[in-house]
Amino acid sequence: MAILIKDVAAYRNGKIVEHSCIEIEGNYIKSFPENPNIEKYTEVIDGENMLALPGLVNTHTHVAMTLFRSYADDMALMDWLQNKIWPAEEHLDEDITYWGSMLAFAEMIRGGTTAFNDMYMFMDACAEAADKAGMRGNISRGLAGVSPNGEKALQENIELFHKWNGAGDGRVKVMLGPHAPYTCPPDYIKKVREASLAHEIPIHIHLSETRAEVEECKQKYNETPIKLMYDLGLFDCSSVIAAHCVHVNEEDIELMAQKNVKVAHNPGSNLKLASGIAPIIQMRKAGITVGLGTDGASSNNKLDMFSEMRLAALIHKGKNYDPYAITAEEALDMATIEGGKCLGYDNLGRLGIGCLADIILIRRDGFHWRPDFNDISLAVYAGNSMDVDTVIINGKPVMRSKQLLTIDEEKLFYEVERVTQKLYSFAQ
Ligand SMILES: [Zn+2]
């Protein structure tokens, strides 16, 4: 199957090239032909007055937590987790998780997000929904060593790897998901490390999200969470993506850079839970790959990567009193090519020959796109998820003219209503 996107403004090598054509064959971008023969393509997409960007990569999610959206807001992380989220999560099942995940994927595709990195439970249901929706995603079973089923969960995560890694035409990858140092004691982290090294499974973990977490870890182990993980050898695993890293010191940053730990920066979630602002300028200077994420829809209330790009660009200028701290181009890079690296891809997140064909087309006909001197500046500072017109993942269109092609919207709303009733029956 070959697809041609014609007459589109393509963002390539840091420049917008107006009236470009993009040729897609199989899962990849094959070429940017100058005068293509339209007749040889199975599908031709007219990109007139649209901007083609690489699909956005959300590097930290808990997708089925869409169903906790607006259930408990304006609370501190621990109060929110212990008194609201963890009790409610007891009532999840495969069916609820499947539809909660599908709701997230509909929102993601509509908003131009083509890849995600998830840690949660009932991950078979998440993987099935991702496969059906046509999403690209890394999935991990959330592992808590303090839980009575910690050992069983680790086994489930390894089984998940054997069952799903590379599935969906290569779109699905599996990681191990030790939740955090405060839920995974050192002995348990060592077991996760052994499993990771034995099967070459990358790691997805939360680190140093709040000040209280770091203080507690220092009291208990006399080390910061990052130094503790370093000493336990977790960073020797094939690849580690650490979410948050808000409260880190210079030594933490050095250790992460030395071990090539990648960071998922979640500005919206960190601000909403009043956790702080991660020092990503220092991390990037140290050579750390930093991607952007939303975290769960429960903490952020949305899975919108346009708003994360804008937040990332704005808050670091404000925090550092530096208008150059994160530019629009850098925010877009973090949401695309850097995010792709976080997920373990070196051919994702840019429009180049041989790259995976995850492409979004953005309409430039809104009031907020006038006048148009700089498309990337507009996409980051003025653009929003509703500007996205067409989404292609792994060479397959999943949305055309804002119509979802892989998800039945009417059925989705019906099923979400049904599983919401089921999930919250405990509260009645
Ligand atoms: Zn999280």
pTM listed for this prediction? 0.97
Confidence (pLDDT) at 298: 75
Sorted by sequence, the CB contacts under 8 Å of residue 13 that are 6+ apart come out as 352
Query: Which residue, 292, 291, 290, is CA-closest to 305?
Result: 292
Closest CA to 415 of 99, 154, 116: 99
Number of other CB atoms surrounding residue 268 within 10 Å:
24
- Helix, strand or coil, per DSSP, at residue 362: strand
Distance 142 CA to ligand 1 centre (A): 10
> If you measure from the C-alpha of residue 297 to the centroid of ligand 1, how many angstroms do you get, rounded to a whole number?
10
CA–CA separation, 243 and 49 (whole Å): 37
Pairing relation of β-strands 2-12 and 50-54? parallel
Task: Return d(Cα 309, Cα 119) in angstroms, integer.
Answer: 22
Render each residue's pLDDT in the chain as its tens digit; 428 residues. Answer: 799 999 999 999 999 999 999 999 999 999 999 999 999 999 999 999 999 999 999 999 999 999 999 998 888 888 888 999 989 999 999 999 999 999 999 999 999 999 999 999 999 999 999 999 999 999 999 999 999 999 999 999 999 999 999 999 999 999 999 999 999 999 999 999 999 999 999 999 999 999 999 999 999 999 999 999 999 999 999 899 999 999 999 999 999 999 999 999 999 999 999 999 999 999 999 999 999 999 998 778 899 999 999 999 999 999 999 999 999 999 999 999 999 999 999 999 999 999 999 999 999 999 999 999 999 999 999 999 999 999 999 999 999 999 999 999 999 999 999 999 999 987 76
Report CA(144)–ligand 1 centroid distance (Å): 13
Question: Beta strand 359-363 with 50-54: parallel, antiparallel or unpaired?
Answer: antiparallel
How far, in Å, is the centroid of ligand 1 from the Cα of 8? 36
- Please give the pLDDT value at position 428: 63
Cα dihedral across residues 193, 196, 202, 203: positive or negative = negative
Q: How far away, in angstroms, is 155 Cα from ligand 1 center?
A: 21
Q: C-alpha angle with apex 414: 403 to 73, nearest 5 degrees?
A: 90
Cα 386 to averaged position of ligand 1 atoms, centre (Å): 25
For residue 425, report the distance from its CA to the centre of ligand 1, in Å. 25
Is 165:99 a contact under the CB 8 Å cutoff? no
Q: Where does residue 287 fall: left (phi above 0), alpha (psi -120 to 50 degrees), or beta otherwise? A: left
Q: State the Cα–Cα distance between residues 114 and 110, nearest whole angstrom.
A: 10
Instruction: Please state at what angle helix 94-110 crosses helix 123-133, rounded to 10 degrees.
Output: 40
Q: How remote is the CA of residue 62 from the centroid of ligand 1, in Å? A: 6
Beta strands in 254-406 (DSSP E): 262-265, 290-292, 359-363, 388-393, 396-400, 403-404
Task: Tell me if 392 sits within 8 A of 403, measured CB to CB.
Answer: no
Q: Give 105 Cα–ligand 1 centroid separation in angstroms.
A: 17
pLDDT at 69: 93
Query: Ligand 1 mean position to 299 CA, how many Å?
Result: 9
Residue 39 CA, ligand 1 centroid: distance in Å: 47
Instruction: Tell how far the Cα of 294 is from the centroid of ligand 1, in angstroms.
Output: 8
Report the separation in Å between the CA atom of 399 and the middle of ligand 1, taken as the mean of its atom positions. 27
Q: What is the pLDDT of residue 81?
A: 87
- 307 burial level (CB within 10 Å; 0-12, 13-18, 19+): middle
How far is Cα 404 from Cα 407, in angstroms, rounded to an integer? 6
- From the CA of 168, how far away is ligand 1's center (Å)? 25
Task: For residue 68, give the DSSP letter.
Answer: G
Ligand 1 centroid, distance to 22 Cα (angstroms): 36
CA 402 – ligand 1 centroid, Å: 29
CA distance 138 to 97: 16
Q: How far apart are CA 316 and CA 271, in angstroms?
A: 12
Map residue 209 onto helix, strand or coil: coil
Measured in Å, residue 206 CA sits from the centre of ligand 1 at 6
Q: If you measure from the C-alpha of residue 207 to the centroid of ligand 1, how many angstroms do you get, rounded to a whole number? A: 10
CB atoms within 10 A of CB 99: 26
Minimal CA–CA distance to 296: which of 82, 108, 90?
Answer: 108
DSSP 332-359: HHHHTHHHHHHTT-SS-SS--TTSB--E
Phi-psi region of 321 (alpha: psi -120 to 50; beta: other; left: phi over 0): left
